[in-house]
Amino acid sequence: MIEGTSDNFENEVLKAEGLVLVDFNADWCGPCQMMKPVVEAFGEEHKDVKVVSVNIDDEEELSDSYEVSTIPCLVLFKDGKEVAREIGVISPKKLAKMLEK
Amino acid sequence: MQDKIYDVIVIGAGMAGLTAAIYAVRANKKVLVLEGKTHGGQIITTFHIANYPGLPKVSGVDLMNSVYNQAKELGAEIEYAEVMKVKDEGEFESVITEDFEDGSDEGKYLARTVIIATGSSERKLELENEEKLTGRGISYCATCDGGFYKDKPVAVVGGGNTALYDALYLADVASKVYIVHRRNEFRGNAFLVDKLKTKENVEFVLESVTTKLIGEKKIEGLEVENLSHEKRTLTVDGIFVAVGRVPATEIFKDLVELDEGGYVKAGEDCHTSREGVFVAGDCRVKSLRQLVTASSDGAVAATEAVHYLK
Ligand SMILES: Cc1cc2nc3c(=O)[nH]c(=O)nc-3n(C[C@H](O)[C@H](O)[C@H](O)COP(=O)(O)OP(=O)(O)OC[C@H]3O[C@@H](n4cnc5c(N)ncnc54)[C@H](O)[C@@H]3O)c2cc1C
């Protein structure tokens, strides 16, 4: 999983072709810890989707600009544009369903 | 089909459901746990649990991962799919998950016994756009999301201890905290109310109900109405909803008897109104809803199910 920062976000996400899943999370957030293995397994299974993890405490600017106000928050980008968003803990299947949107 | 028949199907992988699974596999039963989200249940948002015997200060995540691993290692199967329906099929109950509804022939399981352990979820305000704005200004967990509102105005809706604790926590983070409560007095602890009264940035908006959420893409405020039908708009960036919890039992209403609050009727033996169907944890009628009582129910329900199978 790539660590997303305000320095690399442009290149890794916004200018990236295809699908990128951004996982906004924090160390102190229990539901985020529960989602982490689910997101990692998703990344293993869907090699065509790049997975980027953003720590909202380190990257306040990024979480602000995407109006993240509840975590865990998963945002799916396609060719740099947001196409789907899910908050809270979700099952692996619901996560995979984001791709259908 | 043979492989989809289970002695015990547990619905919900929180403390009650996972404990039930541990007891049932240890009695050599074939056990499946079905969970709609991640395992762990409502306690995963809690960082320090102070009252779980023997494990002072354990986090909800650590505790529940450890219970989950224990159940798995002992041989319980766990599938992640939301249960949509439980139907009577004579000798068995058929348990139908979201996958089945999606049109696949997967997702239907037959159970000799069922243990309902679906817990509860946050009560909503039931206002227009609430779902759309959840995560965009509406939150049900102050300690999880309070940090996003540093030096911004927020409102807490509710009058119980959760609302009061939320308001206290937020008073130290946010620029302003409105507490919107429909009564004149609080159900919660008087000591918390007194403490809140000492906070300069806290304003009580009493005998008022929330009538409207303001904001299209994110929360910009809320409209409240008092007993004399006067309306007032509070400009806030965040609304913390703390109006209680509701049992996740809607799908069982035709299967077993529920009380007025939606809790599954059963005594301490965890037997529901239907033979072969048991209930454990927060979704059962009971007076104390805690982890220890959830795991206690899990043990009792599984043991009763095992007896029933004999
Ligand atoms: C903020 C907070 C703090 C708390 N602090 C403490 C504390 O310090 N000490 C303490 O002892 N207790 C505490 N509690 C109470 C404790 O969390 C609960 O009593 C306990 O978690 C109940 O466990 P449960 O297994 O009955 O239900 P839950 O934990 O609610 O688990 C139910 C599970 O069932 C799943 N489910 C629901 N419907 C379906 C469906 N249709 N299909 C499949 N799966 C489904 C849910 O996703 C969930 O994972 C706290 C609760 C909260 C909310």
- Residue A73 annotated among the catalytic residues of the structure: no
Position B28 scores a pLDDT of: 98
Count of structural domains, chain A: 1
Domain limit, last residue, from B190, B214, B241: B241
**CA gyration radius for chain A?**
12
Mean pLDDT of chain A: 95
Q: Is the model's pLDDT at B73 over the cut of 50?
A: yes
For the whole model, what pTM was predicted? Answer: 0.93
Share of chain B above pLDDT 90, in %: 91
Q: State the average pLDDT over residues B61-86.
A: 97
Q: Do B134 and B112 fall within a single domain? A: no
The reply to whether B19 and B168 lie within a common domain is: no
Confidence band (pLDDT; 50, 70, 90) for B1?
very low
**What are the residues facing B240 on neighbouring strands?**
B139, B156
Domain that holds residue A43: 2-100
Residue B166 zone, left/alpha/beta (φ > 0; ψ -120 to 50; rest)? alpha
CATH number of the domain residue A34 falls in: 3.40.30.10
Spacing, Cα A45 to ligand 1 middle (Å): 30
Average pLDDT score over residue span B64-93: 96
Question: Which residue range(s) make up the domain with B217?
Answer: 124-241
Query: Hey, is the C-beta of B46 within 8 angstroms of any chain A C-beta?
Result: yes
Average pLDDT, chain B: 95
pLDDT tens, position by position, B5-19: 999 999 999 999 999
Confidence of residue B3 (pLDDT cuts 50, 70, 90): low
Nearest CB partner across the interface for B47, out of A28, A35, A93: A28
The answer to whether the Cα torsion of B89, B294, B139, A41 is positive or negative is negative
Helix (H) / strand (E) containing A40: helix A30-45
Query: Could you report the per-residue pLDDT of B192-239, keeping only the tens digit for each?
Result: 999 999 999 999 999 999 999 999 999 999 999 999 999 999 999 999
Compute the distance between CA of residue B16 and CA of residue B114 in angstroms, rounded to an integer. Answer: 13
Q: Say how far apart CA A7 and CA B258 lie, in whole Å.
A: 54
CA B157 to chain centre: 18
Domain boundary among B215, B241, B267: B241
* Closest among B145, B147, B194 to B174, alpha carbons compared: B147
| Interface with chain A: mutation pick from B34, B35, B38, highest number of A CBs within 10 Å | B38
Amino acid at B209: V
User: Does residue B134 belong to the interface with chain A, where contact is any CB pair within 8 Å?
Assistant: yes
- Which residues are within 8 A (CB) of A24 and not within 5 positions of it... i.e. 6 or more apart? A54, A56, A62, A63, A66, A68, A71, A72, A73, A74, A75
**B68 with B100, same domain?**
yes
Q: What is the pLDDT of residue A31?
A: 95
Nearest chain B Cα to A73, which residue? B135
Which pLDDT tens digit goes with each residue over B141-183? Answer: 998 899 899 999 999 999 999 999 999 999 999 999 999 999 9
Residues B134 and B223 in one domain: yes
Asked if B115 and B250 sit in the same domain, the reply is yes
Query: Which stretches of chain A drop beneath a pLDDT of 70?
Result: none
Amino acid A101: pLDDT: 76
- Which residues between 8 and 37 in chain A have a beta carbon less than 8 angstroms from any beta carbon of chain B? 26, 28-31, 33-35
Same domain, B14 and B62: yes
Q: What is the average pLDDT across B89-108?
A: 85
Q: Looking at ligand 1, which atom is closest to the CA of residue B121?
A: 30
Query: Can you give the CATH number for the domain in which B250 is found?
Result: 3.50.50.60
Q: Is A29 a catalytic residue?
A: yes
Q: What is the pLDDT of residue A26?
A: 94
Q: What is the mean pLDDT of residues B92-99?
A: 93
Average pLDDT for residues B42-50, to the nearest whole number? Answer: 92
